[in-house]
Amino acid sequence: MPILVLIVQSFNAGKSRAKWEGFSFRWYGALFQSVSIMDALKVTLSVALLATVISTILGTLAAIGIYSMKKRPQSVMMTMTNLPNTMPDIVTGISLMLLFIFTRINRGYLTMLMAHITFDTPYVILSVMPKLKQMNKHTYEAALDLGATPTYALLHVLIPECRQGIVTGALLAFTLSLDDFTVSYFTTSPLVQNLSTLIYSAARRGIEPTLNALSALMFVTLLVLLLIVNHRTEERN
């Protein structure tokens, strides 16, 4: 309901929230004119894309590694993979911030990217893992048996076999990155802002109608992404 109000408001021609002054794309236009918003959009998109690519590669390799472990270390690794998902974002955010302060890494674009990779990777592992478990456990050996080197078997058999899980994991990572506020807030500097931290600081100064338009767009984008991810997961089952 509040989101619905927000979306309706974003088309309001007037500046006041109390009065409907007719339908207009005025704020959407203003949105794309604003330098600070466009800069933040670039940060958000580039962080999300880079984090997705890196965490997908890391997560896929990690999943394959964990899959080939023995039972005990495997369950330990899977618990560690599940842990970040059960932890509130604020804990992840603050602990990463403390880590960066402790290691004297200046917070900014790079730390935000690292933070995003950190919380994206477990989701990729969790999407790829079921695909590996569904596979016949001798599939990799069969490839070696037919003359494939381990690298060839990885690229031409294992990865194609879990392609669906990898794509789902990547979409999920991208969505989470776009969506994230808490972790980004703690791991970036005020100079490098993505959309969500920008909205947060702007909202403290008073809500501008452009922010309505921006929030409406973000909501719709994330909704579509989530629907795609859900659809893929259901199709698999």
Partner 1 sequence: MIEQEHLIELKHIRKEYDGVTVLDDINLYIRKKEFVTLLGPSGCGKTTTLRIIGGFETPTEGELYFEGREISALPPYKRRVNTVFQKYALFPHLNVFDNIAFGLKLKKMPRQEINQRVGQMLELVNLKGYEKRKVDALSGGQQQRVAIARSLVNEPEVLLLDEPLGALDLKLRKEMQLELKNMQQRLGITFLYVTHDQEEALTMSDTIVVMREGHILQIGDPKHIYDEPANAFVADFIGESNILRGTMVRDELVSFAGRGFPCVDFGFGNDTPVDVVIRPEDIMVVGEDIGQLVGTIQSVLFKGVHYEMMIDCGTFTFKVHSTTMQPQGSRVGLSIVPFNIHIMRPMDASPTEEA
Residues that bind partner 1 (CB under 8 A): 136-139, 141-149, 152, 157, 160-161, 163
Burial code (b: 16+ CB inside 10 Å, e: under 16) for 117-148 equals bbbbbbbbbbbbbbbbeeeeeeebeebeeeeb
The distance of closest approach from Cβ of residue 32 to partner 1 in the complex, given in angstroms and rounded to an integer, is 42
Q: How far apart are CA 158 and CA 168, in angstroms?
A: 16
Q: Amino acid identity of 122?
A: P
The distance of closest approach from Cβ of residue 80 to partner 1 in the complex, given in angstroms and rounded to an integer, is 23
Give whichever of 120 and 161 is closer to partner 1, judged by the CB atom: 161
Q: How far apart are CA 187 and CA 196, in angstroms?
A: 13
Give whichever of 143 and 214 is closer to partner 1, judged by the CB atom: 143
Three-state DSSP class for 25?
A: coil
The distance of closest approach from Cβ of residue 66 to partner 1 in the complex, given in angstroms and rounded to an integer, is 19
Q: How far apart are CA 176 and CA 181, in angstroms?
A: 10
The distance of closest approach from Cβ of residue 172 to partner 1 in the complex, given in angstroms and rounded to an integer, is 22
Give whichever of 137 and 231 is closer to partner 1, judged by the CB atom: 137
Give whichever of 15 and 138 is closer to partner 1, judged by the CB atom: 138
Whether the CB-CB separation of 164 and 231 falls below 8 Å is answered with no
The distance of closest approach from Cβ of residue 235 to partner 1 in the complex, given in angstroms and rounded to an integer, is 15
Give whichever of 23 and 152 is closer to partner 1, judged by the CB atom: 152
